[in-house]
Structure 1
Amino acid sequence: MTTLIDDVRSWRHDLAGCLHACMATLLEHRGVAPLETLGAAWRFRHLPGDIRREEYFYPCAAGESLLGALAPYHPVRSVWHSPADAAEGWAQVRAEVEAGRPVAVAVDNFELPFRPAYRDVHSNHMVVVHGFDEDAGTVHVLDAIPPHFHGDITLQQLAASRDSGNAAVHDRDMFFTDVHIGNRWLSVELDANPEDFPAFDRSHIRDVVERNLRGYHEPVRGDGYAGLDGLTAFFADMGKRLAAGETVRDELFVVAGAALANTAVHADWLALAGRTLDHPGLTEQGRAVERIAHHWSAIRIMAALTQSEGLGAARFTRRAHTLLKDLEQVLAGLAHEGAEL
């Protein structure tokens, strides 16, 4: 039996990872505009103790789904499925694909022949599966992350990557290892028809800008770090822990990665909003938000340097201060543009 779901397209942002890529592909297949949905919310949130060692990490509050955290302004959510073993894992994915529903599956890059890390580095990654050929023993996989792959691999290769223990075996196995992949797969659920989603118009764009500003400026509630004050406190705590010789590499790297992706995709959302409304001020703010994303890129690189003591607390604090200063200016600019909408 051969099944291939058509109209499954690659979606990629240079500063985002496999989570945004896979969610965008699955949303678009359901008739939902990816950038309008995934790029709307812009915020900082970190919940200590919620550092999951996976490339598709994104901070989720209790009871919140991964996609729901990414796109809280739209009626979308995701559901993780945790089969008992590899056989059940493939049976579940096969049934979804046969029913015309592509899915995202967790995989170990070490077992995937199209990944640069093949047989070299373990890493907890995510790809889309949308076809299979039982006679040939192959599955059709989409991975939008460079070097980009959209084609067939053997079912055995996919099974090995999905059932991997993902163990760290040398010092290059960093950040996203030592957690069993567990044959998990993720589905996208819509709580409304796509035509009933918020229209990408002036009212909606103004509402999004206002909600994002409130998120950065309102007092932090509950545990963890949130908003501008929370980010300031997080950077201060990281600097203190670095100065004390504490290992912060993994936490800082993972947190910065989520913030980087969120910020970069929102910058594109603002650019789209500016073009849609013929509002150059929003487009300009999109470029300013993109600058914040590049600050996050630097923070993430710095995190990797802490393991070899290539990053001191003073250097980190200077970079964090620059990010915060630019962020305050961006928030002021967005408040001005929001008032003009």
Structure 2
Amino acid sequence: MRVELSGIRNWRHDLGHCLHTTMGVLLQHHGHDPLQILGAAWGFFHHPGDIRREEYYFPLHREGLLESMAPHHPVHSRWHWPQNAQDGWSEVRSAVLDGAPVAVAADNFHLPFRPAYRDVHTNHLLTVWGFDDDRRLALIADPVPPRFQGAIPIEQLTDARDSANPVLHDRDLFFTDNPVANRWLEVSIGEVPPHDRDFVRHVIDRNLHGFGATGSGPELVGLAGQRVFLDDLADRLAAGAEPVVDETFIATGALLAMTGVHGDYLTAAARDFGAPELLEAARSVDRVAHHWSALRIAVAMARGDTAAAEPSVRLRSKQLLADQERALDRLSSAARAL
């Protein structure tokens, strides 16, 4: 038997990563514009010490992964954890046979189309959208460069999904030491509200409210939580706390992606509705995204001498917060003008 689902197209944002690209592929299959769903939310939420070593890390502040990424939309996701590799493929095959492409975790070390093939272990995410039983092939979509949409042997996919994802040498960084465990993600989508002025205004208002929130426990939320996060980052770098490098690289990757995609969401909305104030706000959000990118690189380069990075990180954090406050002010004005 051979099954190939329709409506599978690559989607990617330059500042996103495999989580956003994979969710984009799935959302397009369901007939939705990924930017309108994945780009709506912007906020800050962080669980200190709860950093999952996977490329598709996102801080969970709702029931599931996609719900946390897209809290303004009726979406739902659920991880499945099969007992073994055989069950892992059987479950994914059944879901595709029923008409649903699924996201699967995989180790790039075992994927022949990834640059890390047979070189670097890393916990990645991609889409399975078909199979050929007779030829023992799985159909894969992975928009992350160099971009791949096609067939690979089921055995290779199984090796990637069943990988222990070990740390073997000094190139296995950030997303290793976390078994892939054959996990796969089921996604469902309810009735999506129309993308109009009222909904965009509602989205901005909710995001602004979120930035004004304060946490009641160890979780860091809103702009106040972001200040604590950045201050703690600089303090830990100065103290030589080596784990801060991997933790920050993973956590800020999610923040960078969310901010960058939101900037493009605002840009698209500004053009859709002829809203110049919104376009100015989008540019301000883009500026914040690039602060996160620079901060992430600075911390990643600090391995082995974290204290040396502390002054530049503290300065970048100050600039980031100042530009973020300006972006929030401009968003507030743009929402009133919509």
Q: Same fold (TM over 0.5)?
A: yes
The 5-angstrom pairing of residues 68-83 of structure 1 reads 68-83=67-82
Counterpart of 2:63 in structure 1 is 64
Q: Which amino acid aligns with 2:239?
A: A
The alpha carbon displacement at 1:106 in A equals: 0.2
Counterpart of 2:332 in structure 1 is 335
The alpha carbon displacement at 1:287 in A equals: 1.7
- Structure 1 residue 206 corresponds to structure 2 residue 205: no
Counterpart of 1:289 in structure 2 is 285
The alpha carbon displacement at 1:328 in A equals: 0.8
Counterpart of 2:245 in structure 1 is 249
The 5-angstrom pairing of residues 189-338 of structure 1 reads 189-190=188-189, 192-193=190-191, 197-247=192-242, 248-309=244-305, 311-338=308-335
State the alpha-carbon separation in 1 of the partners of residues 280 and 119 from structure 2: 42
Counterpart of 1:17 in structure 2 is 17
- Structure 1 residue 183 corresponds to structure 2 residue 182: yes
The 5-angstrom pairing of residues 73-112 of structure 1 reads 73-112=72-111
State the alpha-carbon separation in 1 of the partners of residues 213 and 163 from structure 2: 43
SS in 2 for 1:31: coil
State the alpha-carbon separation in 2 of the partners of residues 165 and 16 from structure 1: 25
Q: Which amino acid aligns with 2:41?
A: A
SS in 1 for 2:302: helix
What is the percentage of aligned positions where both structures have the same residue?
A: 48
SS in 1 for 2:50: coil
State the alpha-carbon separation in 2 of the partners of residues 137 and 112 from structure 1: 15
The alpha carbon displacement at 1:219 in A equals: 2.8
State the alpha-carbon separation in 2 of the partners of residues 180 and 220 from structure 1: 31
SS in 1 for 2:82: coil
State the alpha-carbon separation in 1 of the partners of residues 180 and 215 from structure 2: 34
The alpha carbon displacement at 1:23 in A equals: 0.8
Counterpart of 1:7 in structure 2 is 7
SS in 2 for 1:77: strand
CA contact (8 A) 2:3 2:130 kept: yes
Question: Cα deviation per residue 1:158-184 (whole Å; 9 max; x = unaligned)?
Answer: 000000000000111011001110000
Two-structure CA RMSD over aligned residues (Å) = 1.1
When normalised by structure 1's length, the TM-score is 0.96
The alpha carbon displacement at 1:241 in A equals: 0.9
Higher mean C-alpha displacement, 297-306 vs 85-94:
297-306
Structure 2: tracts of 5 or more residues without a match: none
State the alpha-carbon separation in 1 of the partners of residues 100 and 202 from structure 2: 32
CA contact (8 A) 2:288 2:324 kept: yes
The alpha carbon displacement at 1:285 in A equals: 1.3
Structure 1: tracts of 5 or more residues without a match: none
Number of residue pairs aligned between Structure 1 and Structure 2: 336
When normalised by structure 2's length, the TM-score is 0.97
4+ runs deviating over 6 angstroms: none
Question: Cα deviation per residue 1:25-75 (whole Å; 9 max; x = unaligned)?
Answer: 1112112321111111100111112200000000003x6100000000111
Question: Cα deviation per residue 1:210-261 (whole Å; 9 max; x = unaligned)?
Answer: 1111111233333221111111111111111111111110111011100000
Higher mean C-alpha displacement, 120-129 vs 41-50:
41-50
State the alpha-carbon separation in 2 of the partners of residues 78 and 321 from structure 1: 36
State the alpha-carbon separation in 2 of the partners of residues 95 and 214 from structure 1: 42
The alpha carbon displacement at 1:320 in A equals: 0.8
State the alpha-carbon separation in 2 of the partners of residues 286 and 151 from structure 1: 36
